Structure 1
Amino acid sequence: MNNPVLFALENDLPLHEPLQAAIGADAGEIDQRRFPDGESYLRILSPVRGRRCVLLANLCRPDKKFLPLLFLAHSLRMQGAIGVGLVAPYLCYMRQDKAFMPGEAVTSRIFAELLSTCVDWLVTADPHLHRYRSLDEIYTIPSRAISGMPAMQAWLAQQKGPLLLVGPDRESQQWVATLAKATGLPFIVGEKQRHGDREVSIKLPADDRITNATSVIVDDVISSGHTVLQTLAALRDVGAPRTICAAVHGIFAESADEKIRLAGTNLLATSNSIPGNHCAFDLAPLLAPAVQDLLASAGGSPHITRDHQT
């Protein structure tokens, strides 16, 4: 049994079956529930001794998910797994990358330290690297951060043109510029002014192409949706005839997707990194090579010796 074993703590993750097929994994089975006091019960049903294990985790809204993830990773080693890696297509706790005010917790570093003790390697997609140049600055385990843009590019090729790519702000410029270079499509980038956690305004450059094309708002993640909503309003004000919103990760806090649809966008599309109603393109073919590379290079788990000594 040389195939890895793929486990997930949630049922019906849209990436589960395609990733399992792409890496040639066997399905791992677990029994889990919560006790009346809210504590987690977990039992591994699949044999894992001498096998490499991969965890697929949806880390959107992570606080209730992290302890079960830790319990599963630790229990797999106790059952004899020779390695436990994590595929977290959406990587949480990346935005608080510095203390903006005295006393603030830099949660990106704290979470990275905890997760690095939990698993042997990490694969993710388009993490929010703003002040960090790479995950290696905060993670002490081997990590791979793939771009979801090729999957978005393939989806975009199916949309009717002419198309104009729109980056809401400077942070989105890296994604929209990459997508424009790959597709040959024109793009513009707006200027965002933030007035608070939930208040932003977007100013678009004057460009006649806005009124003669479908505007495709591109970003890495849609969370509260305020930036997208303001971009839609700015496009509407200058006469955009049709709009599409596309992002790698769709968090859609507080029903943001419904607000975006009600604001008049014609189509809303995300990858299948997070379960939802708008998953339109598949990250599994992009994640699989990174997973296979780490499975091949990781060998035995560096955590095993430590666990056996405790």
Structure 2
Amino acid sequence: MSLLYALPGNAAFARALCRHTGWQRGQLELHRFPDGESLLRLATPPRGVVAMTCSLQRPDAKLFALLAAAATARELGATQVGLVAPYLAYMRQDARFRPGEAISARVIGNLLGSGFDWVVTVDPHLHRIHDLAEVFACRTTVVQAAPELAAWIRANVRSPLLVGPDGESAQWVEAVADRLGAPCVVARKQRRGDRDVSVRLPSLARWRGHTPVLLDDIAASGHTLIDTARGVREQLPQASPVAVVVHGLLGRRSREALRGAGIARLVTTNTVPGELAAIDVSARVAQALAILGADAA
């Protein structure tokens, strides 16, 4: 029987994975000391193939516990230790843009790749890196969210026009548009800082009567989506844009700012838990987990 342990905050996704796969939940305890250090305990003895599930938003506070869980499982008898990270952090810094900068994608790939035998994730932010195998020292499986995104849009949006806020979003926009048989456009973005971006859209005049669906893989500050929404509203003032995001890292103020920019509805997948997580990708992740577990058995 394969075991799946959930790091704090990941219990709901772990329950869904176990329901889909038949894996057994392992019990994990994490205690935080007053000085900020942690004590991790695998209350269910590990055996055979085990996996940890942990979505890596705000990753710095999670990485020690995650690596400690993997090392402890291996020490106590697990034959293989895998990681299910629905959201995989640190993939956006995939090059050295200024002298001396860390290439974070390579750092996280080496760190997790040395601690785990395999990693499953959903739509990592790959731009100049085209395959996780380029930076990970272990086997990796990438789950595509496009089928679930398309299904949600089909069920909830009339006559969608898919809008990508920048060239990096084109891969998701085109994949979803193809599944829907819907038109799509991609904007050009200029970024001057974390919260200073400008977006230029092509003409949308031929798409009057369609509902703009802003689609991106990651939303953190929300400024890219806000600028895109304003550009859409300038060209299509009667439209009520919808925003669909794979990984929602938005705080309360960012969500309020998006609504203030005229976005009628904002939804994300459940790779990151939260009130916006209306699109469930757990079944597709479970398929990948089941295959890896069977191969390792």
Q: Same fold (TM over 0.5)?
A: yes
In structure 1, the partner of 2:110 is 113
In structure 2, the partner of 1:44 is 42
- Aligned counterparts of 1:86 and 1:6: Cα–Cα separation in 2: 9
In structure 1, the partner of 2:241 is 243
Once the two structures are overlaid, the 10-residue window that deviates more, 267-276 or 24-33, is 24-33
- Aligned counterparts of 1:176 and 1:231: Cα–Cα separation in 2: 14
Spell out structure 1 runs of 4+ moving beyond 6 A: none
Question: For 1:220, what is the secondary structure of its paired residue?
Answer: strand
Note the C-alpha offset of 1:99: 1.0
- Contact 2:56 2:62 survives alignment (8 Å): yes
Residues 1-310 of structure 1: pairs in structure 2 closer than 5 A: 3-11=1-9, 13-49=11-47, 51-240=48-237, 241-253=239-251, 255-299=253-297
- Aligned counterparts of 1:148 and 1:171: Cα–Cα separation in 2: 16
Note the C-alpha offset of 1:12: 5.3
- Aligned counterparts of 1:53 and 1:12: Cα–Cα separation in 2: 16
Deviations 1:187-221 (A, max 9, x none): 11112122223211111111224431211001111
Deviations 1:12-55 (A, max 9, x none): 54422211111211111122211121110111111223x21111
Question: For 1:177, what is the secondary structure of its paired residue?
Answer: helix
Letter of the aligned partner of 1:79 in structure 2? L
Note the C-alpha offset of 1:256: 1.7
Question: For 2:45, what is the secondary structure of its paired residue?
Answer: coil
Question: For 2:241, what is the secondary structure of its paired residue?
Answer: strand
Deviations 1:250-269 (A, max 9, x none): 01157322211222211111
Once the two structures are overlaid, the 10-residue window that deviates more, 234-243 or 60-69, is 234-243
Question: For 1:6, what is the secondary structure of its paired residue?
Answer: strand
Matched-pair identity in % = 40
- Contact 1:224 1:254 survives alignment (8 Å): no
Letter of the aligned partner of 1:8 in structure 2? A
Question: For 2:213, what is the secondary structure of its paired residue?
Answer: strand
Note the C-alpha offset of 1:112: 0.9
Letter of the aligned partner of 1:212 in structure 2? G
Once the two structures are overlaid, the 10-residue window that deviates more, 66-75 or 160-169, is 160-169
Deviations 1:88-137 (A, max 9, x none): 01111111111111111111111111111111100001101111110000
Letter of the aligned partner of 2:218 in structure 1? V
TM norm structure 2? 0.95
- Aligned counterparts of 2:261 and 2:12: Cα–Cα separation in 1: 27
- Aligned counterparts of 2:82 and 2:91: Cα–Cα separation in 1: 19
Question: For 1:157, what is the secondary structure of its paired residue?
Answer: helix
Provide the aligned length of Structure 1 versus Structure 2.
296
Question: For 2:295, what is the secondary structure of its paired residue?
Answer: helix
Unaligned runs of 5+ in 2: none
Unaligned runs of 5+ in 1: 300-310
Question: For 1:63, what is the secondary structure of its paired residue?
Answer: helix
